[in-house]
Structure 1
Amino acid sequence: MTVGVRGVGVDIVDLGAFAASLAEPGTRFTSVFSATERRQCRERAEARGAGSGSSSGTSSEISGSDGDRSGADRSRGATSSSSTDPAGHPDGHLARHLAARWAVKEAVVKAWSAALYGTPPPISPDLLVWSEIETVCDAWGRPAVRLSGEVARQVTATVGEGARWSVSLSHEGGSAVAFVVLEGPSAG
């Protein structure tokens, strides 16, 4: 058995529509992010946006190796064609970082789905707990994917022990994008 690329996923999120989803009265969309993701995004937003009130142009994150479905449904609108950049808004920097993490979650599901081509999904899309797909950063800001709960169990069951995720995320202007590669054991 060799280790190889099993799947690739990419996702892009419109920051204006995403920020609007976060600002909806009564939204529970932030529950798709783990406490660690929310904390790291808040810290990153404070460090990058403290007192600036505007975007610095390009903000990239270096590549490295508690959800509900109602939030995920709302996020579908987050990929609309709006080109508003939320960085001028006080919460814009936070929305920018959360949007990149939402893109990672979607890209992980796409990469995992590619690895399972021709077989039914092991978790029904309406039962997927999005916070079990987490983006965490090391002390230098390099992102990695960490899985937990049923998602972790099903990835191990379907892809095998030792599945590895490489992730790159970025935000430019009015968009956040994530690119994910799933590597794991393959026959051959």
Structure 2
Amino acid sequence: MTVAVLGVGVDTVDLGAFAASLAEPGTRFAGAFSATERRQCRERAEARGAGPGTSRADGDRPGGSRSDGDRSGADRSRGATSSSSDQSTPMARHLAARWAVKEAVVKAWSAALYGTPPPISPDLLVWSEIETVCDAWGRPAVRLSGEVARQVAATVGEGTRWNVSLSHDGDSAVAFVVLEGTPTG
């Protein structure tokens, strides 16, 4: 059985704009994240010394160790300090990376379906059905559920694998997703 790259997606999220949108009453982000995503983001922010509502620049632990797929220390080396902290909380910072994953998953899936109409209308997509979960060591993975999982299986196959990497740099969060599977046809 041959496994191939079926699609690639990347997305960048501005942390300040995302945090502002997240804080708006009635925002579309209110239901975009699963309970697991919200819990893991809260735990990561708190583990890095940022209690609820605090605004450390990266939500990192003192000493610079990082997890959550955020392996780059580039934001510290470039001198990012108060601009990040003024614009977003550590919780929003982690949610922004997960939003980037959701967008990158849709882009990778869309690339795999090039030349065919989307199986789910963009206005009917349930964003919480595209979930970023981390293992005990902070490595991210994509977990699909509901109609998104059914449509992915129907359009690109049951045996798909989502490879995901996410990072923060200064005032941005970025996600890169590669969709692998068995080519049809």
Q: Same fold (TM over 0.5)?
A: yes
Could you tell me which residue of structure 2 aligns to residue 170 of structure 1? 167
State the one-letter code of the partner of 2:56. S
Contact 1:86/1:95, CA 8 A, preserved across alignment:
no
**Structure-2 change in CA distance of 1:103 and 1:85 (3 Å):** farther
**Deviation at residue 30 of structure 1 after TM alignment:** 2.6
1:87 aligns with 2:70: no
**Deviation at residue 86 of structure 1 after TM alignment:** 4.3
Q: Deviations over 1:110-140 (max 9, x none)?
A: 0000000000000000100000000000001
More displaced 10-residue stretch of structure 1: 131-140 or 44-53: 44-53
**Structure-2 change in CA distance of 1:26 and 1:86 (3 Å):** farther
Could you tell me which residue of structure 2 aligns to residue 7 of structure 1? 7
Provide the secondary structure at the position in 1 that maps to 2:9. strand
CA distance in 1, matches of 2:83, 2:40: 21
**Deviation at residue 187 of structure 1 after TM alignment:** 4.0
Q: What count of residue pairs does the alignment treat as equivalent?
A: 167
Which structure 2 residue ranges, 5 or more long, are not aligned? 71-81
CA RMSD of aligned residues (A): 2.2
1:109 aligns with 2:116: no
CA distance in 2, matches of 1:24, 1:62: 27
Contact 1:15/1:96, CA 8 A, preserved across alignment:
yes
Q: Deviations over 1:51-104 (max 9, x none)?
A: 6742258856338xxxxxxxxxxxxxxxxxxxx944346x61000000000000
Contact 2:50/2:90, CA 8 A, preserved across alignment:
no
- Compute the TM-score of the two structures, normalised by the length of structure 1: 0.81
**Deviation at residue 46 of structure 1 after TM alignment:** 0.9
Structure 1 residues 4-83: aligned runs within 5 Å: 4-27=4-27, 29-50=29-50, 53-56=55-58, 61-62=68-69
State the one-letter code of the partner of 2:163. S
Contact 1:49/1:93, CA 8 A, preserved across alignment:
no
**Structure-2 change in CA distance of 1:36 and 1:134 (3 Å):** same
Which structure dedicates a bigger proportion of its chain to strand? 1
CA distance in 1, matches of 2:4, 2:107: 17
Could you tell me which residue of structure 1 aligns to residue 151 of structure 2? 154
Stretches (4+) displaced over 4 A:
56-60
Could you tell me which residue of structure 2 aligns to residue 77 of structure 1? none
CA distance in 2, matches of 1:35, 1:20: 21
More displaced 10-residue stretch of structure 1: 163-172 or 45-54: 45-54
